[in-house]
A and B are shown apart, each in its own frame.
Chain A
Amino acid sequence: DAGVIQSPRHEVTEMGQEVTLRCKPISGHNSLFWYRQTMMRGLELLIYFNNNVPIDDSGMPEDRFSAKMPNASFSTLKIQPSEPRDSAVYFCASSLAGGNIQYFGAGTRLSVL
């Protein structure tokens, strides 16, 4: 298996633009997680899905952020409108049923100018 695949690897955009980050989890995994990593706050869980259903989105910073998982093999994290403080590395991870190892993608480095 190719592992968790994220795209794009790098995204540079201007303030106010819409940004969409994409994730393909490992086939057969039924849990998917979105994280954000910054120097100031470290790694933070934004939202996680179980069987395509959002279970906990308490980490989503504000309404500008939204996440979807239309099927078991694809998820998106959208920021609209983007702001400079959204600049970070966004990671997607997947795992089998709860309690198991999480496998991380390589991340998307987002820069909002």
Chain B
Amino acid sequence: KQEVTQIPAALSVPEGENLVLNCSFTDSAIYNLQWFRQDPGKGLTSLLLIQSSQREQTSGRLNASLDKSSGRSTLYIAASQPGDSATYLCAPSWGGFQKLVFGTGTRLLVSP
């Protein structure tokens, strides 16, 4: 059974700090991996999608890396802002039909 773990479970930082969120998965034969953000009471918003053949993806202040062989992905947030406060979810997929398995999430709070 594929399992996805995210560390830390919660993180509280002052505005301006650079952050690293970690994701590990038990089966390295992934198809791709997505990072999502979830605001309280809302749905999920996809932030970055990394294909299994890629090593990293960047979007603005966000950078996600993928190391398939070790079963790890990291999400790097540069110059954090209070608007970044949310829960961040990692979701690898196995198989061609994008069957996502979600991690437990990291709850981020960025204080002004």
From DSSP, what is the main secondary structure of chain A's interface residues? strand
When the two chains form their complex, are residues A42 and B105 in contact, meaning their CB atoms are under 8 A apart?
Answer: yes
Q: Which residue of B lies closest to A9 (CB)?
A: B41
- Tally of contacts, chain A with chain B, CB under 8 A: 55
The smallest beta-carbon distance between B26 and chain A, in angstroms, is 15
Q: Tell me how many residues of A have a C-beta within 8 Å of chain B.
A: 24
> For window 1-50 of chain A, which residues contact chain B by CB distance below 8 Å?
4, 31, 33, 42-45, 48, 50
B11: interface (CB < 8 Å): no
Q: Which residue of B lies closest to A49 (CB)?
A: B97
The smallest beta-carbon distance between B81 and chain A, in angstroms, is 23
Partner of A106, one of B34, B43, B49, B105: B43
Residues on A lying within 8 angstroms of B by beta carbon are 4, 31, 33, 42-45, 48, 50, 55-56, 91, 93, 95, 98-107
